[in-house]
């Protein structure tokens, strides 16, 4: 949870995260994500998992909403 929330927050296209923790442990992870600082190594890991500008899963992509890639705030 912590890395995922931090990853979303590190995107320059995202201004906030709406989260719905089901447990106190999840809530604590979300709070810790606010202090996590992304590094170039973190961004490199994400790029190895999902190449920027490509969908994370194969299938239909609505041409009205083209995949533009990711612009990180930090770490790249």
Distance CA(19)–CA(4), nearest Å, equals 11
Query: Cα torsion at 47, 1, 36, 49 (round to 10°)?
Result: -10
DSSP three-state, residue 49: helix
Q: Where are the domains of the chain?
A: 2-49
- Whether the per-residue pLDDT at 4 is higher than 70: the answer is yes
Residues 9-68 have pLDDT tens digits of 888 888 888 888 999 999 999 999 999 988 889 989 988 888 777 777 777 778 888 777
Confidence of residue 75 (pLDDT cuts 50, 70, 90): low
Q: Which residues neighbour 63 within 8 Å (Cβ) at sequence distance 6 or greater?
A: none
Distance CA(38)–CA(43), nearest Å, equals 7
Q: Rounded to 5 degrees, what angle do the CA atoms 65, 20, 32 make? A: 100
């Amino acid at each position: 949870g912590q890395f995922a929330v931090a990853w979303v927050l590190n995107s320059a296209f995202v201004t906030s995260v709406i989260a719905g923790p089901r447990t106190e442990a999840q809530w604590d992870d979300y709070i810790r994500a606010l202090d996590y600082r992304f590094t170039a190594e973190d961004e490199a890991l994400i790029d190895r998992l999902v190449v920027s500008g490509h969908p994370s899963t194969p299938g239909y992509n609505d041409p009205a909403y083209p995949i533009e890639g990711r612009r990180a705030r930090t770490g790249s």
